[in-house]
Amino acid sequence: MAAQTILFDFTLSAESQTTTSAQRQEVAKVIRSELELLFPQLELGYVLETPENGYFAVLHENKETIVTIRIFKQGLLTINVEYYLPDGKEPLISFDTLRTMELILRQKLDSDRSKYLPPIKRGGYIDIYMTSSDERIIEYDIDKLVYEARSPFQKIQIMHSKTLGNMLILDELQNIAESDLIYTETLMGRGVENYEGKEICILGGGDGALLYELLKEKPKYVVMLEIDELVMVACNKYLNSICGDVLEKRKSDNYEIIVGDCVEYMKKFIEDGRKFDYVFGDLTDIPISGAPIGECWDFIRTIFEHSFKLLKPDGKFLTHGNGTSCLESLELFEEQLRLLKPKVKYTTTKAFVPSFMEEWLFYQVTFA
């Protein structure tokens, strides 16, 4: 159950059609006549008309369905329809009806551009809307909440998508889904990197997918540092198609999972003189910001500093970046790499990640 919000907007061919109050009133009359075909008992509840702000009206049918009309003096019109839809009920207005209404109004208003959006579902317990890396809205075909809990570190949810399978969502952001093998394979450079007999450190990786896929490559030993026990418990139960049983065993002849702050364990490894062939950064995303300042950027720099102290001279640091549309943040990230001492060099690869619904960039960093 949720509130359904349907949005229409039109741009008139001639801006002069809405310049005066009388013109706006005439346009409003056309809009209302069409709306009354859909809602025969539609009543006018409130009107505001000013030279500066144009025309605004609130209409309702039995005080249940609310319609707002806004006519800007610059020739832009918006119509919003909102109503409550109980579970199991058919939508109040069908897709075909919405399309027909848009086309009729476009013709009658002499509009050269029009658009309507299918119902935006607001207030439901299952949140089907998330954002791309550059903060565009994405609607998912989520039909079930599989798991939800809050750890000391974050909100953890596993949702089921009809097309993507179970999805891990951390603090309202999509993390990985059963559909996302390409993410893990691109991060690890499958087919390019040779992990046989190598020593590897994974920073984060609580979903277990990276560890599971790396173990197929016959490494000598993998140590994974993950802070959130509850993420691993949830993924072990509901995402074992991507992590197998590695989160259940926690330790074997060729791997170990350590629960704790990765920075503290990295410091200990450095003190002990421990070295790795590969270090994976499977942690927080690159922040969307205008400057490399703040807690997240400080954390990224700390990870860089410690990771390269743990790498062997010919070792490699592999990490995900962000969506390829986040050019400014990716440039800030690369700027931090260029500032590292000793100097490093990097290459990048790209992959379209199904549950992110966008292309992501991955980094391969070595000593220069």
User: Would you name the residues annotated as active-site residues?
Assistant: 282
CA–CA distances in Å: residue 187 to residues 102, 162, 183, 229, 239: 45, 25, 6, 23, 19
DSSP per-residue letters across 198-226: -EEEEEE-TTSHHHHHHHTT--SEEEEEE
Beta pairing class for 76-85 and 65-71 = antiparallel
CA distance 45 to 88: 30
169: its two tokens:
């969502």
Asked if 150 and 156 count as a contact pair (C-beta separation under 8 A), the reply is yes
CA–CA distances in Å: residue 190 to residues 183, 194, 195: 11, 8, 9
Helix and strand totals (H; E) in the chain: 10, 19
CA–CA distances in Å: residue 321 to residues 118, 122, 287, 331, 359: 33, 31, 10, 10, 11
CA distance 125 to 145: 9
Q: Which amino acid is at 40?
A: P
DSSP per-residue letters across 77-103: EEEEEEEEE-TTPPPSS-HHHHHHHHH
39: its two tokens:
């809602």
Structure letter (DSSP) for residue 121? E
The enclosing H or E element of 138 equals strand 137-139
Give the max Cα distance, the chain.
82
The enclosing H or E element of 358 equals strand 358-367
251: its two tokens:
């330790």
